[in-house]
Each structure stands twice: as structure tokens, then as C-alpha cells.
Structure 1
Amino acid sequence: MYFPRISIGIPVYNEQENIQKLLLSILCQKGVNIREIIIINDGSTDNTLKKIMEISSIIERDIVLKVINLRHNIGKANALNIIFRIASSEYLVLLDSDVILMDEYTLKRLVYPLIKNEDIGLVSGWYEISSYSSINMSVFNKIITWAYKFSAKLLKEIGSNFGVYGATGAIMAVPRNIYKELQLPTNMLRDDLYVYLDVLSKNKKFVFQPNAKVIVHINPTLKNYLRYQVRVRSIPKDIIIGFGNIAQEELRKPPYSMLLLTLLRLSIKYPLEGISWVLLKVISLIYIKYLKNIKISVRWRARKEGINE
């Protein structure tokens, strides 16, 4: 039976709590031939590197573990560029370091569209929200967690039903003829969006594979949620200028009537999450409006305090 050969790329910064769980979930995958796991340890200041090396002894011999240990933090986009250069398999799977693959067939589902259709240049999976400390969590922390979960559901519905941008950097796959030509601009804030638009600009197709899921762990604090809102609302001007009409078309907002209907339908189905999302949305809009000079770090220190883009 043919199993596609894949490389897995993971940029990581200060993930001592999760990196072993992620690697174990990768080693449990079936239906794919994992050729190499490339980890860019981007100047971590905790025990991330130690945790990686502890688990390296149980990795099968036919899987090559490549760990690039950087002394200084260079940012996620730059770390991804290193992965693009090093990877060599037919397909490259990119994973954020704070996720865990949902089940043992996640990667098989993810790369399946690429195998079946050479016109596809990018496949994105999806994510579910989890928090490390759900036990003894304060009411306000629960509200923030609910808001995160509702936001994910809303984004998924909008992306699926209205045909607007819906890729996530948490889990995606690209073929070799795409990733070998990818070069993210230095310190690119929205790396997942750049990859998505770059693929479309090459007349390749994007496929959303919602059943290829990861679990994303968050730290549910108000500060983190507000920073997350600032980041997801920030579209670098370089992207708009560089991709022109493609960017404007893909980043268009859905009709407000459809958005409200979707919001209402999900709120009825998930009332606590919906109310929490509205409350946090109001707070975040006030935060963004009155703090116009917010500087968004492109490095991991800001990103690690909240959810992925």
C-alpha cells in the first residue's frame, strides 16, 4: 500500500509543557510515511530542548529527527523559512508547537487531497480549543475560554459557508513544488495568510479539511485574549499590496445579514459561549479603539501569550 512520504516542520518557542505530547501524537500517526521531523527551537529559554531530546530516543530509526537549536529568537516566519529549505519530502506538514493531533489518522486526512489532485497547493485542517487548567478555573477564565471556543466555531462557519479566508497556521500541508518556492518576508506577522495567498497567486487550489483536527492549548487570560484580537484583526499592508486583487477578494467581509444569522444560530446552540464572545468582543473593540498605537510583536513572546492566528 502506498503511504505518502511527508516531512513535518515545527517552529517552537518555550513549549516545555506541550512539545512531548505533540511529538507522541505524531509518532502515533497511521497511513502516512513520516520521513523527517524538523524542529526549529527558536531561542527557547525554558526546558523545551531538554524535553525534545528526552523523547528522541523512542523515535523510530526510519524517522529522522532534525533539531535546529537557535541561540536567539528570530520569529516564527523566519523559522518557517529554515524549514522550507531543509525539508525534502513530497509533502510538508506545518504544525504549531502548542497543539496535539486529534487522532492517529489526522495527518492522513490532511495530505489526502494533495495526493488525489496535483492542482491543490495547500490543505488546512482545523482546531479545537482546550486549556491546561480547566479544573479550579475562575468564572472569568471560563468566560474567556468560552469566547475562544465560540470564536473558533464562528470562523469555521464563515469560512465554510461564505467562501472567505479560512486557513489556519495550526495545521497545514503543502506539496514540495510549493514549499520549495516559499520565502516568507522577514518578521511576517500573518505567516499562514501569506502562504494561503501565495498558493492562490500560483493558480493552485486551497482545500479546507475540517476533519484533520488538532487540539490547541490556550492560557485564558483577558490580556491574552485582547492581544489575540489585535493580531487577528491586523493585516500587514505588505500582504494587501503584494497580492493585490487576490488579497482583497479573499479577505472580503461576508454580508452583515449572513454574519448576524450565523452568530444568532451559533448563540442559540452554544448560549454560554455566545454570550461570552459578545462580552469579550465589546471589550476588545474598546481596547483596540482607544489604544491605536499598539505595537504587535512578530516574535514568539507576544504570540505565546494567546492562541495562534
Structure 2
Amino acid sequence: MTKPLISVVITVYNEEENIKPLLEATYAALSEIEYEVILIEDGSTDRTVSEVKKFANDRTKLIIFNRNYGQTTALAAGIDMATGEYIATMDGDLQNDPTDIPVMLQKAIDEDWDVVAGRRANRKDGFVLRKIPSKIANWVIRNTTKVYLKDYGCTLRVYKADIAQNMGLYGELHRFIPVLAKQQGAKMTEVDVKHHPRIHGESKYGLSRTFKVMSDLILMLFFQKYFQRPIHLFGGLGLISLMLGSLISLYLLILKILGEDIWGRPIMILGFILILGGIQLITTGIIAEIIVRTYFESQHKKTYKVKSVYQGVGTAIGSLSGE
């Protein structure tokens, strides 16, 4: 098979009843395109694997995990295995519609977008348990990261391969893929896509993921602003704490000189805590700086990415990249 134009990465976990209609719909939607389908079976306990083997065609790869690792790891494995010029990701629960992929791919090609993200225009999920928490999370992520997409929860996206394969997915960061792509300078847009109600199986999402999203959001904000300069965060906070603690100590010293008893005052304990906390924060910043330098220098990583190098009248002579 020639190199595919697009690799479609689909994560599946206990989706045995969805496999046949999923593959049939995907193959039909991509029939006019050079494609490959990569299914990542994330430690299912049902007959998902046997169903895939039964209905997969010769353009389909199946990656079987020995246990459940989670959606982010599954997506990372599929993206690593992809050989297409573009990579599409989607869920395996039939709520995403494969017929949207050719439209999104054409938009990416025609308008030279690095990422085309899906936006569920008429979402078929529960209002209280799914839609409201999702809207709140989308608003918080959008306004804190300054990556202005309306629907962070839609897995259906099309990427240029070099963007997708350099995002550094791990943990549970799949919700923040647009933020990771933006950190690489990706140009992205959002289009309305179809969304269907779940017919078979059970949803893997719930309100319990809210705290995980908020925790990961803190990590994303740190990556955005301070990953290459952690001393600016920890050092800044440490200096503020140290100065406040020093001012309190100076104030108490003046009171002591004037003859007042300062022992046991809560403000004295606060001063000690602020001074010690400031020293610890500054020390943490220095250690973090050393770790960051080790990360880049030991692996010969660059702190920038050059898209292309041109010589003369617009002739590309090479491409350099780093993380």
C-alpha cells in the first residue's frame, strides 16, 4: 500500500457492539481517500478484539494493550504508529461521525490548517451530567489558556502529522491537545461536526473527571508560561514571600527595641513561615531550572521549532525541528 494521505486513530475500550458499524461507516466515509485505520484496544474485557479481527480490512492496524492505560496513552500509541501525512482522531463509541473526516481533511489541505478541530453542533448527551459540566470546563480552559476553541471535549480532529507526533501526550492530557498543539505554533480552526447519541455500551466519562481536568489545567498553564523558565514562577513567588516575611520581622524588631513584648504573637509565626517558604520556593525554582536544562541538553533537544529553511527564491532546502 502506498503512503496514506490520512491515518485515522480510533481508541476503543469495551466497544464490542460498536465495532462492526464503526468500521463499516469509517471504510465507507474514506473510500475515495488513501487511508489507514489504527485501532487501539485499551485493555477491553469484552469481545472487542475478536470483533475487530472479524471485520477489519487490509488497511487496518490493531494495537492491543495488555491492560487499560487510558485514552491519552491510547491516542499517543496510535499517533506514534501512524504513517499518513495527516492524522485524524476519533472515539470508538459511534458518537463521532466518520463522514466528517473527509470534509475536515479537505479544509486542512485547502486552507493550510495545522489542526482542524470538531465542534459538536448538536450534542446528543445528557444536559445536567454532561453538557453543563462540559460548557463550564470549556469556558475555564478557553479563558485561562487563551486557546479559543468552543469544544475541547470533542475527540474528532484532523492534524498535520508533524504536529500530532510532537505533542508529547502522556498522563490524561488528551483534553488539552489543542493547547499542546498551540505550544508548537499550530494554526487551528474549528468546524461543526455531527454528534450521535450512544446506542451500545456505557459512557467512560462522568463528573469524577472534573477534578482531573482542573488539575491538568494547572499543569497546562505552567507548561504554557513557565516550562522553559520555572525560576520566574517559583523565584517570583519566593521573593514576594521572603520580602513580606522580612518586613514583618523588621516590624517586630522595631517593636522589640521600643520595649514591647513580641513573643507568641501570630504575626511573628507568620513572618517565620513566609521567610522559610520564600527560601523553599526560590530553591525549588533553581532545582527546576537545573532539571529543565538537563531535559533539553542531555537529549540534545532544542527549545524552539523551525518550520522550514529557505534559500534563494523560495526553495526549501531542509527542515529543522526540536522540542
Between the aligned partners of 1:220 and 1:93, the Cα distance in structure 2 is 23
Q: Residue 177 of structure 1: CA displacement?
A: 2.0
Amino acid of the residue matched to residue 244 of structure 1?
Answer: K
Partner in structure 2 of residue 122 of structure 1: 115
Partner in structure 1 of residue 102 of structure 2: 108
Amino acid of the residue matched to residue 69 of structure 1?
Answer: I
Between the aligned partners of 2:158 and 2:123, the Cα distance in structure 1 is 21
Write the deviation string for residues 235-290 of structure 1: whole angstroms up to 9, x where unpaired.
Answer: 343322111289xxxxxxxxxxxxxxxxxxxxxxxxxxxxxxxxxxxxxxxxxxxx
For residues 219 and 73 of structure 1, do their structure 2 counterparts lie closer, same or farther at Cα, with a shift above 3 Å needed? same
Write the deviation string for residues 159-201 of structure 1: whole angstroms up to 9, x where unpaired.
Answer: 99x973433342111012212323213xx223131x2112212
Between the aligned partners of 2:32 and 2:134, the Cα distance in structure 1 is 29
How many positions carry a matched residue from both structures?
Answer: 219
Find 1:86's aligned residue among 71, 81, 84: 81
Question: Which is higher, the Rg of structure 1 or of structure 2?
Answer: 2
For residues 147 and 66 of structure 1, do their structure 2 counterparts lie closer, same or farther at Cα, with a shift above 3 Å needed? same
Matches within 5 A, 1:1-309: 5-29=5-29, 32-56=32-56, 59=57, 61=58, 64-102=59-97, 105-118=99-112, 120-127=113-120, 128-130=122-124, 145-148=126-129, 150-151=131-132, 154=135, 164-166=148-150, 167-185=152-170, 188-193=171-176, 195-210=177-192, 212-215=193-196, 217=198, 225-244=206-225
Amino acid of the residue matched to residue 81 of structure 1?
Answer: A
Amino acid of the residue matched to residue 159 of structure 2?
Answer: V
SS in 2 for 1:84: helix
Does the 8 Å contact 1:20/1:55 carry over to 2?
yes
Gaps of 5+ in 1: 132-144, 247-309
Higher strand share: 1
Between the aligned partners of 1:24 and 1:219, the Cα distance in structure 2 is 16
Between the aligned partners of 2:37 and 2:129, the Cα distance in structure 1 is 30
SS in 1 for 2:23: helix
Q: Residue 220 of structure 1: CA displacement?
A: 11
Write the deviation string for residues 138-169 of structure 1: whole angstroms up to 9, x where unpaired.
Answer: xxxxxxx2325643895799699x97343334
SS in 1 for 2:22: helix
Between the aligned partners of 2:114 and 2:70, the Cα distance in structure 1 is 24
For residues 148 and 109 of structure 1, do their structure 2 counterparts lie closer, same or farther at Cα, with a shift above 3 Å needed? farther
Q: Residue 92 of structure 1: CA displacement?
A: 0.5
**TM-score, normalised relative to structure 1:** 0.59
Between the aligned partners of 1:25 and 1:41, the Cα distance in structure 2 is 18
Between the aligned partners of 1:220 and 1:30, the Cα distance in structure 2 is 25
Between the aligned partners of 2:81 and 2:104, the Cα distance in structure 1 is 21
**TM-score, normalised relative to structure 2:** 0.57
Write the deviation string for residues 72-116 of structure 1: whole angstroms up to 9, x where unpaired.
Answer: 2222222222212211111100011223444x7411222222102
Write the deviation string for residues 59-84 of structure 1: whole angstroms up to 9, x where unpaired.
Answer: 3x5xx110111222222222222212
Q: Residue 7 of structure 1: CA displacement?
A: 0.7
Q: Residue 230 of structure 1: CA displacement?
A: 4.0
Amino acid of the residue matched to residue 192 of structure 1?
Answer: R
SS in 2 for 1:28: helix
Gaps of 5+ in 2: 228-323
For residues 155 and 26 of structure 1, do their structure 2 counterparts lie closer, same or farther at Cα, with a shift above 3 Å needed? farther
For residues 176 and 65 of structure 1, do their structure 2 counterparts lie closer, same or farther at Cα, with a shift above 3 Å needed? same
Between the aligned partners of 2:128 and 2:135, the Cα distance in structure 1 is 10
Q: Residue 218 of structure 1: CA displacement?
A: 8.2
